[in-house]
Chain A
Amino acid sequence: MANSLAFPLLVTLVLAALATSVHRRLPPRLATRFVTVALVLVALASIPTALVVAIAFLAHVPVVGFGFTWCAQAMGLHGSVPAWLGVPVVALVVLGAARTLKLLRQYRLLRLDESRPIHVAHSHRPYAVTLPGRAGQIVMSTALVDLLDDDERDIVVAHERAHARYRHDRYLLTAELAAAALPPLRTLALRVTYSIERWADEAAAAVCGDRQLVAITLGKVALQSNPATVAGFSGLGVAARMGALLQPPVPNLRQAQLVGLWSSLAVVAGFSLYQLHHLERLLTALCPH
């Protein structure tokens, strides 16, 4: 049983990772959408699967299992999940739920729908951020304002305005939620966040007309910012964004290439749907009409 659940899932994940590995060769707007769709497809397949495996395992644990037996029966899970698989998956599900709730709370505290001018906050750390929400409120720190000249400051503002205009907070929330719920999705989530930043970088470059200056501004701010404590070196950071800006812009895809690109996701979607049908019987049992 464990195999029948895990195999299509593994295929879905690997295919999605392969399909989206071209993201740096796509125009950033397309890359953002493409990787986000891939991520959502994998999340749709994997998050319910993790739940099913966790329930099937718990159903066979004495005492605890009593409450889960009907669940397991409804899903037709008669085989048992071995402890080596069940224990980590239950831990993953519990941890994922906690991390997801934490993220949603953070989002709720920060989101803002009422607009006002750019806010300059007193801080010795240089930062510029766009708040999630319809308003797209931009906050810059005094340290950042002091660090940059007028042209560079305009670049930062154009970058943040692009985040607001194209509602990048939605892509970001989707990516972060998926990665919070299931850590193996982090690789795909990183590709989404990188593409979002690239999108805003190119938008800023379009406004100022000097891609090199955008790269310089990025580097300047990055070198003054805080060393990350947790986020490791992913190869998808500021240096990669600078490198992309110092190269000629990525050309748009030809029709045939676009068809190929989205077809690769159709395969991922197929595996994801196949995986999802494991959940169908549980839902039928929950809604008995």
Chain B
Amino acid sequence: MGRRPDGALENDVLRVLWADGGRLLPGEINDRLDAGYAYTSVATILTRLQAKGLVVRTPSGRAFAYQAAVDEPDLAVRRISELLDSSSDRAQVLSRFVAGLPAREAKAIKALLDRTASERDKR
């Protein structure tokens, strides 16, 4: 199996945690993933998810057990914010009120706003 993008693996791990609803050990998560990942890559993803605040961990014996800290809608909303904060043209599948603004367009918009403002003043 080819290497999957990290985002996809993060999503898979979260899905397992959401389905369970409780705390799970990395080994248990790996078993349920059913995709033959290395134990270490699941552990790495869990550490990364914890750093992002998406999962919380509690000591369980000599290891840590993990639980989801966000639900699915929360995560989708967070992703939007990240996407829109990082660059304005990547979020192609989103209907935005206003997408990015090319420099040439700003001038045209200002002209239209000025014209409309003066028209409204006259009324």
Contacts and interface: CB of A to CB of B under 8 A. Distances in A.
Contacts, number: 170
Given A219-B109, A228-B100, A233-B102, A196 B95 contact: yes
A229 B88 contact: yes
B116 A246 contact: yes
A139 B100 CA distance: 17
Contact of B5 (A105, A139, A220): A105
A51 B17 CA distance: 41
B97 A127 contact: yes
A265 B84 CA distance: 37
Interface residues of A, number: 63
A227 B102 contact: yes
B112 interface: yes
Scoring A116, A131, A219 by chain B CB atoms within 10 A of each residue's CB, the highest score goes to A219
B105 to A, nearest CB: 5
B97 A129 contact: yes
Contacts of A223: 101, 106, 109-110, 113
Interface of A: 103, 105-107, 109-112, 114, 116, 119, 121-123, 125, 127-132, 135, 137, 139, 141, 144, 156, 159-160, 163, 168-169, 172-173, 176, 180, 196-197, 200, 212, 215-216, 218-223, 225-233, 237-239, 242-243, 246
5 nearest interchain CB pairs? Answer: A228-B100, A239-B108, A128-B97, A163-B95, A121-B81
